[in-house]
Structures are given as C-alpha cells and as structure tokens.
Chain A
Amino acid sequence: MNATTNSGSLLKPGRLNTDIAVQMIDVNKWYGDFHVLRDINLKVVGGERIVICGPSGSGKSTMIRCINRLEEHQSGKIIVDGVELSADLKKIDEVRREVGMVFQHFNLFPHLTVMENCTLAPIWVRKLPKKEAEEIALHYLQRVKIPEQANKYPGQLSGGQQQRVAIARALCMNPKIMLFDEPTSALDPEMVKEVLDTIVALAEDGMTMLVVTHEMGFARQVANRIVFMDEGQIVEVNGPDEFFAHPQHERTKLFLSQILR
C-alpha cells in the first residue's frame, strides 16, 4: 500500500504546505536476523502532524529514530528536509540540527542545570553567544511554563517538568521537525496532561511533528493522520476520524478494540 496518498479527513488543517519534511522510501532495517522495518513508505509534508501507534515491538520507535539516524537503516531512502541520510557524518549532523527529539525517558543531562541543558546545543552547535542562547532558552522555558526552574538540576524536578524541559531543550535549536518517542509513557498519570498540553500548543503553532504515543485522545485531537504499524510494517494510515470510526484492517480493529473500552 502507498501510505503517502491517503491523507484522510483533517481535524485541523493547520498550515500545511507542499514542502516535503520527511520522506521514507522502501525503508528496511534489520537487527541481526530480525526484520524490524519492512518496506516503510511515508511522506510527511511541512506542518503535518503524524501520530504513530501500534502494539509494542511493531517498530514505531525504530521508525522515528531512523529519521534522525539514531538508528541506521539498511536499505531504502530517508530524506529529511531535503537531505538524504547516509553514512556521511556531515549530512547526519545537518539533519540533527533541524530535527528535535523528545524521548520516553527525557534523557536530560543530569550534571547540567535546566538552563544549561537548553543552551548547550545553541552554544556549541549553532555557535550562538551565551547571552543570546539564554534568552532563547528562557523564551522556550516560558512556553513550557517552567521558567522559574531554570537554575535547578533535572533531578530536582518532577517527571512532567523534566519532560517539558526536554521539549524546551529541543525547541531551543529552532527545529523544523519534532519527533516524540512515547513522551508520556514514563510519566505518573497526574503529569501526562501537562506534557500533552505542551505538545498540543506546539501543534497549534504549526510545527511539523511525528509522535509515537498510546494516548488515543491526544491522537484524535492533534493528528492530521494516524499511522498504524504492526510487525515492522505500516498497516493503515488514515485521518483520525476515519481511523477511529471505521478502521479498515483487521489488525487495526483488534488493536483499537483492545485499547478503547
């Protein structure tokens, strides 16, 4: 199936344009003998918000980790913001500068303060002066609503606050694309909402994003398209209304019946 043509009904049109942000063409990946990604084809245009869901072990995380080359793919093409990913380190750095990522376990740097976490990449990668980097960091910390925590260390914050810092840290690089890898899976239930609200606000600003999540309410609210994966393959792609109301594939129906009660 071709995943790129079926864009379904859009809940919120957003500021879609015709620039292709991410394009994956026949991407395959193996872990040893295990065929973890199989013939992945996906085209994401600028401003589009893709939610990727599926059972655990279906390759969702691996797929988005290929987009900033935290994982290497063995065949096929991945083109991010016009740059094709290959073993070329310069290309990889170029892509990583434009793609922000938020992880399940935050991956903040525990030996640096919140402010230092946020200014590190702008200073060392973008070569901004420290003062300017701090202004930018403060701006984004305000956006994720924790400017008052700037001088604390990550270990002093709650999980939800840490994840919001992680979002701010990614935003400080002013990325064109944001990847979220199960951003709320490691959080206490009370903190899920504050993180999701932050991501929703980001979505409303027109950020291109790919989100791996099990939060179906969030998916319905934010996604332009939902990608359903199983066994390393894209099984179904549809707009959120259609996806939840009329799932086509048997596997999708089973999955939805398991998680929506």
Chain B
Amino acid sequence: MTMAEGDLALTQLAFVRKASIAPRPPPSKMVGPVAWLRNNLFSTPFNITLTITMALLLAWAIPELVRFLLLDAVWSGSDRDACLESVQHREIGACWPFVWERLPYFIYGSYPISERWRVDVFFVLLAVGIAWLLWPGAPRRDLGILYFFLVMPISSFVLLTGWAAIGLQPVDTVLWGGVLVTIVVASVGIVCSLPIGIVLALGRRSRMPAVRLLSVIFIEFVRGVPLVTVLFMAGVMLPLFVPEQLSPDKLVRALVGIAMFASAYMAEVVRAGLQAIPKGQFEGAMAIGLGYGQMMRLIVLPQALRVTLPNIVNTYIGLFKDTTLVFIVGIFDLLRTIEVARIDPKWATPVTSTTGYVVAAIFYLVFCYGMSRYARAMELRLAKGDRH
C-alpha cells in the first residue's frame, strides 16, 4: 500500500513526512470587499442591528445637516434682514454673513485692530513650535524643544502683552478674547500639566513621607474641587484678600488655576502609567548602575507615558473643552465671544444662535479630533518596537 503525503492512515502507527507542506492562499471568503463587509459590519446579529441602526441615523442626520449648513444657508448680507424668513426663503439655514462679519471678534476678541498682526504672528509661532515638536521626522528636534519651551513662550508673552521699550504698545489682557484666549489657556494648561503632573506622580510614589504627603494633599485637594470653584477662587476671591497691586493679572490667575487643576488630573494619569511598568524594569535599570533620575527619565517614564498616552490625550481633550469655563471670571474665550455676538441686535434672528454654536462645535471638534488622531498615530508608531 502506498501512502500519499499528509494522509495519515489509521492502520499505520508510524509516520514520517517526506515533503513539507507549502503555504496556500486563504479561501476567497476571507479576502476582498465582501469579506470585509462580512467581518466588520455584519459579523453577528448584534453587529447587523447596529449597522442598520447607524445607517438609518446617518440617513436621517446627514441630509438635515447638509440642508442647514449648505442648501438653505444664507451666504451674503449685511445684517439680520438677510437671515430672516421671507417669500423667497421659506426655510432658513445657517446665517453665514453673521459669522463672516464677527469672525475677527471670534478670533481676537477686543484686541486693538491695529495690533492684531501680533496675534497672527503668535499663531504662526505656536504652529511652528507644535509642528516642530510633534512631527517625528523634523530636523533638530532638540532645538525644537528649546524653541517650544523657552523661545516661543517668552517671545509670545512679549508680543501679546506688549513692551513699550521695543515699540510694542502694551495691550491689557482684558481686551484679549476669542480663539486667542482659548488657545493661550489651552496651551498653557497642556504644556504645564504634563511636567507638573509627572513631578506630582513621582512625589506620590516617593519613599519620602513628606514629599508623598504634600503630593497627595495637592492632588486630592485640587481634584476634589470643581474647576469652576478653582477659577472662581482665583478670579474673584483672591483679589478680596490680596492688595490690588500684589494681585496678578486676571488672565494669569485663571491660567494658574487651570494649570493646577490639569496637573492634578495628569498626576493620576501618569501614576497609572508608572504602575503598569514591571518591577523588573526598575531592577534592570538599577543593576546597570543608573541613578534614580536616569532610571526614571530613560527607562521608566518613556514606557509609562507610552502606556498611558491615550489617557494623557483624554485629559488634554477634556482640558481643551474645559477652557470654556474661564467665562465664569469674565474672560472672553471663543465660546463667550460667540455668546455675546449671537445676542447682538444687529444679527438677532432665529438661526443666529444655532449658527454661532455650529461654529464653536466645528472649532472644538477640529482641535479635539486632531489631538485624538495624532495620539493614535503616535501609539501605532511607538507600538512598532513591541511587536514582531
């Protein structure tokens, strides 16, 4: 009896393979668009229900959105009359001329018109810094760090607040507003919270009881109080106790409040990352002679921050949207400028508020989704080292 390769006969006890089996392509139902649909959209009854529900939801929402934002939208006009219902316009969509006219106010607030180029320069400086820092293939990233954490903040500060000695007219922060304030508050919060959060997280895990206690008190206190309360205390209560000359600028107080608040949250996020690092990494680092600072900086933190990157970005996104709360102490961030503009009698129509809020929604969505996508890309990039 001759046996074909791979044919294990029940009657035959011993078996020796004579030629190895070459890999074959998978069956056709595993590849191609139909397979993709089957795997991703219609794999289980629950999945099928979900797919159909979502499709119906989109079919209902998208035409409505398109109608409001584009088809029925008003594109030109100089005041509210353009955006009111009329014989020609039964259905009125978004009132874009309102946005167009108030756009400078949304961006700069009440910053003096002749000085607004300074804000534009600040936006460019910031964009350059962010691109330099976040683009992994950028040249001289060491200089980028120096630029982002030293050159840019100082020059932005001088540029925005003004310095009479070099011919820049001082601009009181009361006049700042709109996107400018939102971006300033968010960047200060984002940039300060990570380093302070790391220090607090390490402090909370410190062997020294005093350091540990102070960190715990700070974190639990700041985290246990609503942000509105922190801002309110910084903005309204502090001036009651501190003489006016000693009391810092209102915006600065809000910035400090936001930075403290974000740091406390960040500390816990970083601590979660630190706890995910196996003891062996600490021991490996100690055994080759690294000191505490080197061990943390070179071995532990890079891994801990990577593990917890989704949480860091989550905190950042939350922080970005929380900046809208600065209105409570009378600072005009983007949302506040829209609030003010939408009740302006010149443009008051039934669609003005909705249009204003759509602008705000698009702005926050673009920034938050951008952060989210960047973080996802970084996760995939960083994960390359782990996988085979």
Contacts and interface: CB of A to CB of B under 8 A. Distances in A.
Interface of A: 68, 70, 89, 93, 96-97, 99-101, 103, 105-111, 113, 120-121, 124-125, 153, 155-156, 169-170, 173
Given A93-B291, A107-B283, A121-B288, 15 more contacts: A68-B286, A70-B286, A89-B291, A96-B288, A103-B280, A103-B283, A105-B280, A107-B284, A108-B284, A111-B306, A153-B386, A155-B386, A155-B388, A156-B388, A173-B288
B294 interface: yes
Interface of B: 280-281, 283-291, 294, 298-299, 302-303, 306, 382, 385-388
B284 A125 contact: no
17 contacts: A70-B283, A93-B291, A96-B288, A96-B289, A107-B281, A107-B283, A109-B284, A109-B285, A110-B303, A110-B386, A111-B303, A111-B306, A121-B290, A153-B385, A155-B387, A170-B288, A173-B288
A120 B303 contact: no
A124 B286 contact: no
A93 B291 CA distance: 7
Contacts of A101: 287
A121 B387 contact: no
Please classify the interface of chain B as helix (H, G, I), strand (E, B), loop, or mixed, using the class held by over half of its residues: helix
B283 A120 contact: no
Given A105-B280, A109-B281, A156-B388, A124 B298 contact: yes
Given A70-B283, A96-B288, A103-B284, A124 B294 contact: yes
Nearest to A65: B283
Among B287, B302, B382, B388, chain A packs the most CB atoms within 10 A around the CB of B287
Among B281, B289, B291, B303, chain A packs the most CB atoms within 10 A around the CB of B289
A96 B286 contact: yes
A125 B386 contact: no
Contacts of B290: 120-121, 124-125
Contacts of B382: 111
Nearest to B279: A107
A139 B304 CA distance: 31
A152 B290 CA distance: 23
A109 B299 contact: yes
Given A93-B291, A96-B289, A105-B280, A111 B302 contact: yes
Contacts of A120: 288, 290, 298
Nearest to B288: A121
A155 B385 CA distance: 7
A121 B388 CA distance: 26
A93 B280 CA distance: 18
